[in-house]
Amino acid sequence: MRKKIIYYIKEIFIFLVVVTVLSNFISLYKSQELNDKPLRLNNIVLVGNKNYVIDNTKPILVHIWATWCPTCKLEAGNIERVSKYFNVLTIAVKSGSDNELKKYLDENHYSFNVVNDNDGTLSSEFNIGAYPTTFIYDKNKKLVFSDVGYTSTLGLFFRLWFVNLIEESF
């Protein structure tokens, strides 16, 4: 019985490693077409008609997602946690009216900043091919990281911490 348990644990571990490696390769492949130019946003209107000014003294995470995307729903909690500690701007693509987005955010207890990209115009500037897609820009709005698909809270924290660390060193 003990040998069977060890066997299954080993098989599950190997499966998780293979899935992780495979998902990273897929993300890398999908990231090749993304816009890698500096972030051109400065001021933008959020859901709720609030004006958002991008802070040029800190890195920013730009997360592009949709309410109809299953992976985005899984990752939204990660974005919420990261937004409590770092500069985060999210862009909701073709996800309904401002009122529908506000309702979705309230129902799920999300407080991160959201831009409503109802027609997909803003997200097309990033060359988005799949959702969710996450970009991390340094304080000079230069792209440092991009990721397509699910990203863990730990992965997001580590990347943002690393960018902050590098910027504080210079």
Q: Which residue has the tokens 């899935």?
A: 19
What is the pLDDT, as a whole number, of residue 102? 96
Averaged pLDDT of the chain:
87
The pLDDT tens digits for 10-35 are 888 787 777 666 655 555 555 556 66
Structural domains present in the chain: 33-169 (3.40.30.10)
Residue 84 near residue 108 (C-beta atoms within 8 A) = no
Whole-number Å distance between alpha carbons of 160 and 6: 37
pTM for this prediction: 0.80
Nearest 10 degrees: CA dihedral of 44, 47, 85, 167? -10
Whole-number Å distance between alpha carbons of 126 and 148: 12
Q: Among 10, 31, 8, 7, which residue's Cα sits nearest to residue 148?
A: 31
